[in-house]
Amino acid sequence: MTCKHLIAAPILGLALAGLAQGAGADTLRLLTWGGYAPDNVVEMFEKETGHTVEVTKSNNEEMIAKLRATGGGGFDLAQPSQDRIAGPQAEFGIYKPINLAMIDEAQFIPSMLAATIANTTVDGAAYGVPHIWGTSGLVLDTSKAGMVKDYTDLCDDAVAGKVSYRLKRPTLIGFAFAMGMDPFAAYGDEAAYKGIMEKVEAKLVECKPNVKTYWSGGDELMNLLRSGEVVAAMAWDTGGWKLNADNPNITFVAPTSGALGWIDTFALPAKGQADEAAYAWINFVMRPEVAAMITEAAGNFTASKGADQFASDALKAQFTASFPPEAVDNIKWYPPVPAGLEAIEGGVLDRVKAAN
């Protein structure tokens, strides 16, 4: 073997290693929730793009723990909730910024995209875009509680003794908005937030005689609504739609002050190695017809603009009845919770529960 070949051999080896590394980057390691990457969608994506997908199912706490343990390694795309990005990013640096130029923004519902970008921005860079979303609001027997339009209407005499909601923070937030206050705007001012919560506490104590029970589990609430013991409640949209399938009088209603919304996002782990595949996946699953397939699997709608038109007729009818465009734009999306506020909320909830 000549000296030329002896020199060329290691160079060729390095080149082949580089090619192998590049080929590995064609595999998208996806850290997500159950139902968000159904087999039929994965198969379509792999066939169209040539990328392969490895799905790891998880939840918010596990996602953060896994990414913290590796400094943002091990995965190429993750799906934490929007209120679980800014804090962990500022503290641990486990994500890399989203290149919005790589995202087909026209496929997103504009208000959801804007809200998620705002809530996941750290030091001027956006770290998340929206995927799956859901809300809590009002679940009503409209034949008996049609007068209930907002959270505070649950205190109306017309539904006395037939109301239910949880003693949890969504109730505090919902009542605050219905009372004309903006609790999210006060997140940066602990004293202002405490003042809002004191007014909400007084309202919930005043409303207590109307409450049949404070529900703690979804099945419990569903049974209360089915039996007619409760005709008006605070609950999730999917629960209302499930009840609607059995009783057309019961459905989810977006409150006039705005439903309270959560969004699970797309975020890029800091040490991800397949950004191209990650952006390809995001743009693929946000196509309306593909997004509708994910809705069927996950049970929740996506932030894909127009995807509701591809959903099943029953789900489409329920969605459009509960969420006309103005109701979608009025959703109050949960931002990250600053330290100290949960203690204030806990004290309010304890006092409401103990009140006579």
- pLDDT higher than 60, residue 102: yes
Res 313: pLDDT: 86
**Residue 331 within a domain:** no
Residue 20 contacts residue 14 (beta carbons within 8 Å): no
Same domain, 153 and 121: no
Res 202: pLDDT: 98
pLDDT tens for 120-168 read: 999 999 999 999 999 999 999 999 999 999 999 999 999 999 999 999 8
**Residue 309 within a domain:** yes
Same domain, 54 and 81: yes
Residue 282, helix vs strand vs coil: helix
Same domain, 219 and 348: yes
Same domain, 291 and 143: no
| Residue 200, domain CATH | 3.40.190.10
Res 28: pLDDT: 98
Closest to 298 in 3D by CA, of 35, 30, 31: 35
Same domain, 344 and 219: yes
pLDDT tens for 230-258 read: 999 999 998 999 899 899 999 999 999 99
Same domain, 78 and 223: no
**Residue 253 within a domain:** yes
Tally of structural domains, the chain: 2
Res 15: pLDDT: 37
* Domain range enclosing 156: 136-259+338-354
pLDDT tens for 3-30 read: 333 333 343 343 333 333 333 448 999 9
**Residue 13 within a domain:** no
Residue 272, helix vs strand vs coil: coil
Where do runs of H (alpha helix) occur along 31-183?
Answer: 39-49, 60-70, 86-92, 110-119, 169-178
Same domain, 311 and 266: yes
Q: What is the DSSP letter of 72?
A: S
**Residue 216 within a domain:** yes
pLDDT tens for 38-66 read: 999 999 999 999 999 999 999 888 999 99
Res 18: pLDDT: 36
Same domain, 272 and 146: no
Same domain, 231 and 268: no
Task: Give the torsion sign (CA, 194, 199, 205, 209).
Answer: negative
Res 12: pLDDT: 38
Same domain, 163 and 237: yes
**Residue 313 within a domain:** yes
Res 309: pLDDT: 86
Res 61: pLDDT: 86
Residue 332 — φ and ψ, nearest 5°? -95, 105
Same domain, 77 and 201: no
Same domain, 249 and 267: no
**Residue 16 within a domain:** no
Closest to 90 in 3D by CA, of 119, 63, 62, 132: 119
pTM: 0.76
Res 9: pLDDT: 38
**Residue 10 within a domain:** no
Q: What is the mean pLDDT of the chain?
A: 90
Res 342: pLDDT: 82
Q: What pLDDT band is residue 203 in, cutting at 50, 70 and 90?
A: very high
